[in-house]
A and B are shown apart, each in its own frame.
Chain A
Amino acid sequence: MTISPPPDLLASYRPLAGAYDEMFTADGRLREHWAHAGRVIETLGLRELLDRRSEAYRLLDDDGVTYNIYGDDPAITASAPTIAPWGLDPVPVLLASDEWVGIELGVIQRAELLNLVLTDLYGPRQLLRRGLLPAELVLSHPGFFRACDQIRLPGSQQLFTTAVDLARDSAGNCAVLADHTQSPSGAGYALENRLVVSRVLPSLYRDSQVHRLAPFFRMLRASLQELAPPGTDDPRIVLLSPGPWSETAFEHAYLASYLGYTLVESTDLTVRDGRVWLRSLGRLERVDVILRRTDAWFCDPLELRGDSRLGVPGLVEAARVGGVSIVNTLGSGVLENPGLMPYLPRLAEHLLGEKLLLPSVPTWWCGDDDGRRHVLAHLDELVIKRISRSAGARSVFPWELTHTERDDLRRQIEAHPGEWVGQETVELASAPTLSKDGLEARRSVLRAFTVARNDSYTAMPGGLTRVAGSNGDAMAPRSSVRISNQAGAISKDTWVLASEPEKLSGFWLTAGPPVAAIDPEASMSSRAAENLFWLGRYAERAEAMARLLRAVHDRRNDFQGGANPSGTESLRVLLAALTRVSSTYPGFVGDGEIDRLAAPGAELFALVVDETRPGTLAHAVHHLLGAAHAVRDQLSSDTWLAVGTLDREIRDLRMSDPEHPMVVQLTLGRIMQNLLALSGLAAESMVRDPGWRFMDAGRRIERGLQLTALLRATVTVERSTATDSLLLESVLIAAESIITYRRRYRSHAQLETLLDLLMMDVDNPRSLAYQLDQLANDVRLMPKLRRGAALSEPERLVLETSTALQLADTAALSRPGDGGVRPDLDDFLARMLELLCRTADAIDADRFVHLLPQSSLLASS
C-alpha cells in the first residue's frame, strides 16, 4: 500500500461553479478575511484537522449534544425519536466585520418590522382594514389565533426573539429564505458549537478576534426579566419544553441551565387565579415569565388544540388577564408565513418609513391573482410551499415530480390558491467543509438570531451555519434549499471577526447588595424530583444487576459443564437467584428452566442486552437514561461523561456474538465503571438539595431491595458445605463486601457472620442497616406535600423497617430447620422486602404530584 502525500488543502479546494464561495473569490483568490485562517488550515493539514474533528465529536458526545429526529409530528405520534448526535464541522465560517454590519442591520430591521406587523395583527388590524396586507393571508393562516386577540406583553415589543434563514446568492448578497417566529431554535446549538470549536481550534480562535456570543444571552436574560407582569420584583422565569423527546430537547435543557431557569414541561404547570404556577415540591410557586419552546398550538388544550397532551389548560386565559408573559407570544406563529414576504417591502415603507434592507428570496403568494398566475406559469422553476408549516406537507420541488404529480399539484393550488406560495430557487453559497479527502465546497445556509432589547433588537454576532450533509446535494442543480437537520445537515460555527479587540461588558459578576438565592425547593418541579428518585433507583438496579451478572459469569467460567457437583450446584442456585432477583421469569426458574440451565448462554446474554424485558440490565440502563434526559438541566454536564456511552456499550454488545463470554465480561466491566462514576458524581458533585435527597432515597431503597432479594434467593436453604461456601462467596462478591468479610472473619465463613455484615452492620455502606440509616435521613429532609408534626408515612415505614431489622437475631435466623430450610429467615427477608416496597410507594404517594389522565369534557350540543 502506498501512502500518497497529504493534499495541499487550499490548492485542492474546488468552489462550486456559479455559486458564491465563503472562502475563495470567483477568480480563485483566498478572501482577505480568511488569510489567517487559511494559513492555519494549511499548516494543520488534513490529518490534524480530521483529528480535531474527532476531538470535536468526542466533546459533543461528552456533553450529550443530540438532535432528535422524527418521521412525523412528535406531539401526535407516540413513537420515540431517533437520537442523532449533533453534527459539527470544525472549520468555522468567517464573516468580515463590515459584511456582518450589513447583515446585522438587516435582521434587526426585519425584526422591528415583524414586531410592528404582529402588534397590529393582534391589535387594531389596520394593515388588513387598509389593504396593506390581504386579510385572507392572515385570517386563513392556522397560526393566527383568534383566542389570542388583544393579548399584549408589557412593553413595546410583542415579538421577543426571531431567527432568519439567510441564503447568499451568487453575487454574495444575502436574502431571507424563511422567518422563524414561533419559538426559534438553534441559538443554544450555536453556543455549544462555539464552545467546542474554540476548544479544538484554540489558537485560531484566540488570534481571530471573534465576537463573543455570551453578551447576546445576557441581553436575552435581561429582556426576559423586564417582561414580567407589572408589580413583580423578582420574576420567576421558566423554560417550557415539550419534553425530553422533542427535536431540540438538548437545547431546551442546555439553555435552561445556561440561563439559570427551571426547565418545565406542561404537567409541571397549572393555572389558577389568573396566574401560572409551578407544581414544585410541596407547594405552588408563581411563574411570571415563560420562555416557550413548545409550539403554540399545543400549549392550551382548552383554547388551542383540544387533543394536545403538551399543554396547560387556562394558559391562554392567564396570558389574557396579564398574569403571565409568554414569549414568543402564543400567536407569533402567524408571522411564519412565506406569503407575507411579497408584502414586506411595502410594509417597511409604510410602518418604518424605510426601505427593506434585507430582501426575501423572491416569493409569490397564490392567493393574489398575479402571484398565482406567475407561480402556475413558472411551476417548474419554483419551490412550492404551504403558507403554514402546521398544514403538514414539506416544500415541493416540482422539477422532481412526475407529470401526473405536477398536474395534481397544479389542481391543488387552483382549488385553494391562498394556501400556497412559490419561491425562487437560490444558487446557495458554498462553504469549505472537512471531508476525509480534504476540504469540500458544500451549500450553506446561515440562521441569524435576534432578541428584543430596549425598544429595538440585538442580533447574535454569528449564528448557526448549516451545510449539506454530503456534497451529493451540492452537485444537483437547484436542490440546495433542502438543508435541514432532519435531512442530515451538519452545522458550523460562525465567526464574526471584530475589526478591533472587543471590549468586555455586561459581566456575570455584579457589584451591589447580595441577591437573595432562589429556594431550591421552589425551583424544582415535582416531576423533576420524581425523575431523580427513579434515576437513583435505576442506577442502583443497573449496578446490582451488573455485579450479580459478573459473579454468575465468574462461577460459570469455573464450573460450567465441569465435573465438580458442588460447583455445578452453586452455579444452578446463582442462576435461579438471578431470575428471582430480577423477576425475569421463567428464566432459570420456570418453564424451560432445564434447557436454560444446561445452556445458560443465551439467557445470560438476553439479561444484559434485551431492553424490552423488565429486569434486564439493558432495561435498567434505558430507564436510567430516560430519567437522566428528563432532568438534564439538574445534572452536571459531567454526568454525560459518565452515562453517555452506556447505551452504546449495550448496543455494541447486542451486535456481537452471544457465545463469546469474554466480550460480555468486558462490557460488564465498562458498564460498572460508568455506573460507579455516576454514583461518584452524586456523592461528590451534587449539592445536598431536595433533588439529591430524592435521588439518594431511590438508590438506598433499590440497594436494600436488591440485597434482600439476593439473600432470599440464596441463603434461605442449607446445602452441602462445599456448595454453600461457594455460594456465600458469590453473594459476598455480588454485595461488594467480600474483602471486608475476609479481613474480618478470615477463612471462617458462616451464615450468621455474613448476615451480620450484610444486614446489621451500620458501618458497611453495602448493608441493609446502612441503607435504612441513610434513607431515614433522606425522608426526614425531603420536602413534603402535607405539613404537620406527626411522622409522614415514609418516615413511619422506614422507622418500622429499621426497628424490625435491629431486633432481628441473626444467630436464630441462620439456624436451619427441618429439611435444611430456614423459614424464619425467609419470612424475615420477605417482610423486609415488603416494607421497602411500601416505603417506595409511600414516597411516591406522599411526595410527588400525580395528575389524573387528561380528557375532554363531552361535547354538548
Chain B
Amino acid sequence: MTYRVVHRTEYRYSSVVSASYGELYLLPRDVPGQVCRTSRVVIEPAPHDYRERVDFYGNRAAYFAVLDPHTQLTVTAESTVDVSRPSSLPLPVDQPWEAIRDRLRSDTADDAFDAREFLLDSPKVEVSPAVAAYAAESFTWGRSLTDALTELNSRIHHDFAYKPGSTSVRTTLNELLECRTGVCQDFAHLTVGCLRSVGLAGRYVSGYLETLPPPGKERLVGADVSHAWASVFVPDAGWVDVDPTNNRFVSDRYVTTACGRDYGDVSPLKGVIYTRSKMNKLHVSVDVTHIDGTV
C-alpha cells in the first residue's frame, strides 16, 4: 500500500507574533513494514531556520524558527509512505505473557536493551496502583500475550467513550480512569501504562489512519486527525502495535510517524511564540489517501 499523507496545521493570531520557534514530529520514520519514500515540510511565512535531525529514539524531528513578524503560521507536512505490514501477528506473541516479560529482562540483544527503557515510568505515563489493577484483569496467570492484549484492547475500547475535548495533554491516567472518556492519545497512554505495570515494554506511537476506507470497510475513528496507539516489545519479533481506539491490531491501513515514551516525546508540533495575541485559533487537517502505482 502506498499512502500520501498531508498534515496541515494553521495558526491565526489576533495580533502580531514577533517570532515563532517550533519543533515538529511530522515526518514519518521508517519502521519494519513501512518505508517513507518522500517527505517535505512547508512553513509559511518562510522560516529563517529549518533543520531536520534524528532524535534519541530514531524519529525524524525538525527545528524551525520564523523570525519575521506574522499573524498567521501554517505548517504543512506532505509525505508518501509504503506500508506492508504482515496480516498476521508474529508467532512468539502466542507465548504466555510472563515468558515474554522474563525473556525481555534477560535478552542481551541491542533492540531488547533499547526496549527496556520503555519499562520505566515516563512524564505522562505514571503506573499507579489503579492502572496496575486495571491491567491485572487482562493479564491473568499463564495467558498468552495475544489473548491478554486483545482483551485489554477491547476493554479499553468498551470502557471508555471517545470524546474529543474531554481531556487535555495534562490529563493523568488516574483522572482518565475516573472520567472514562478521552481521545486516542489517552487510550494509547493507558495501554502503555498497563503494559508497563505488568513488566512489559510499552511505547507510544503517533501516526495516521487511512482517511477514506476501502470499499466495504468501515471508516475508522480518528481518521481525519493525527492518531496515536500503543506498541509492545516482543523479543525476537520486535514491536507489535495495537490500537485501543479502534479495538484492533495495527494493519496496513496505518502510517507510523514517530515512537516515544509518551505523547511528550513525539508531539506533532510544539513551540514558543512571542506575542500579545490572546485570540489564537488553531486549525488542523489531515488527509491520508491511498495512491496506486508508482509515485
Contacts and interface: CB of A to CB of B under 8 A. Distances in A.
What bracket does the count of chain B residues touching chain A fall in? 35 or more
Residue from B17, B225, B271 whose CB has the most chain A CB atoms within 10 Å? B271
What bracket does the count of chain A residues touching chain B fall in? 35 or more
A858 B21 contact: no
Contact of B22 (A136, A139, A302, A320): A302
Interface stretch (A56-64, A75-83, A788-796, A849-857): A849-857
Contacts of A128: 113
Interface in A288-329: 301-303, 306, 313-314, 317, 320-321
A41 B214 CA distance: 93
B265 interface: yes
A264 interface: no
Interface in B93-134: 110, 113, 116-117, 120-121
B289 interface: no
Interface stretch (B78-86, B189-197, B247-255, B273-281): B273-281
Interface stretch (A4-12, A152-160, A268-276, A752-760): A268-276
Contacts of A418: 120
Interface in B245-295: 265, 267-276, 280, 282, 284
Contact of A861 (B48, B63, B183): B183
Contact of A302 (B51, B268, B272, B275): B272
B3 to A, nearest CB: 20
Contacts of B67: 272
B21 A314 contact: yes
Given A135-B113, A857-B11, A146 B265 contact: yes
A349 interface: no
A303 B284 CA distance: 22
Contacts of B275: 852-853, 855
Given A146-B56, A274-B49, A139 B120 contact: yes
A301 B273 CA distance: 10
Nearest to B122: A140
B272 A857 contact: yes
Contacts of B267: 859
B63 A858 contact: no
A149 interface: yes
Contacts of B185: 861
Nearest to B225: A861
Contacts, number: 105
B9 A135 contact: no
Given A139-B120, A274-B49, A857 B269 contact: yes
Nearest to A317: B63
B276 A854 contact: no
A860 B57 CA distance: 21
A319 to B, nearest CB: 12
A392 to B, nearest CB: 14
B49 A314 contact: yes
B169 interface: yes
Interface string B6-31: 00010100001110111100000000
B282 A272 contact: no
Given A271-B65, A272-B67, A314-B65, A857 B273 contact: yes
A129 interface: yes
Contacts of B110: 129
Contacts of B268: 860-861
Contacts of A306: 270, 272
Contact of B270 (A135, A855, A857): A857
A713 B11 CA distance: 52
Contacts of A851: 18, 274
A132 B112 CA distance: 17
B56 A149 contact: yes
A140 B116 CA distance: 12
B55 interface: yes
A852 B53 CA distance: 29
A136 B16 CA distance: 45
Contacts of A136: 120
A271 B270 CA distance: 17
Contact of B282 (A147, A320, A858): A858
B21 A302 contact: yes
A73 B67 CA distance: 32
Contact of B269 (A147, A149, A854, A860): A860
A185 to B, nearest CB: 27
Contacts of B272: 301-302, 306, 313, 854-857
A859 B169 contact: yes
Contacts of A146: 55-57, 265
A301 B268 CA distance: 16
A667 to B, nearest CB: 42
Contact of B23 (A140, A273, A302, A861): A302
B65 A860 contact: no
Interface string B60-90: 0001010100000000000000000000000
A848 to B, nearest CB: 14
Contacts of B117: 135, 139
B184 to A, nearest CB: 8
Nearest to A316: B63
Nearest to B53: A320
A149 B58 CA distance: 12
A317 to B, nearest CB: 5
Contacts of A273: 48-49
A303 B23 contact: yes
Interface string A829-850: 0000000000000000000000
Contacts of B2: none
A858 B113 contact: no
B247 to A, nearest CB: 20
A408 to B, nearest CB: 15
Nearest to B128: A415
B230 to A, nearest CB: 16
Contacts of A855: 272-275
Residue from B63, B183, B272, B275 whose CB has the most chain A CB atoms within 10 Å? B272
A317 B113 CA distance: 27
B11 A858 contact: yes
B287 to A, nearest CB: 15
A313 B11 CA distance: 19
Interface in A116-136: 128-129, 135-136
Contacts of B116: 135
A136 B273 CA distance: 35
A418 B267 CA distance: 27
B226 interface: yes
B147 to A, nearest CB: 29
A860 B284 contact: yes
A302 B226 CA distance: 21
B272 to A, nearest CB: 4
Interface in A330-384: none
A856 B51 contact: no
Contacts of A317: 49, 51, 63
Contacts of B49: 271-274, 314, 317
A859 B65 contact: no
A140 B121 contact: yes
A303 B268 CA distance: 13
Contacts of A140: 120-121
A856 B65 contact: no
Contacts of A861: 183, 185, 225-226, 268, 284
Nearest to A125: B113
A26 B56 CA distance: 55
Contacts of A301: 272
Given A147-B56, A418-B120, A853-B275, 4 more contacts: A135-B113, A136-B120, A149-B55, A317-B63
9 contacts: A135-B117, A271-B65, A272-B65, A302-B63, A314-B21, A851-B18, A854-B273, A858-B282, A860-B282
Interface of A: 128-129, 135-136, 139-140, 146-147, 149, 271-274, 301-303, 306, 313-314, 317, 320-321, 416, 418, 851-861
The 10 closest A-B pairs by CB, nearest first: A857-B271, A313-B21, A146-B56, A852-B274, A313-B272, A317-B63, A858-B282, A149-B56, A301-B272, A852-B18
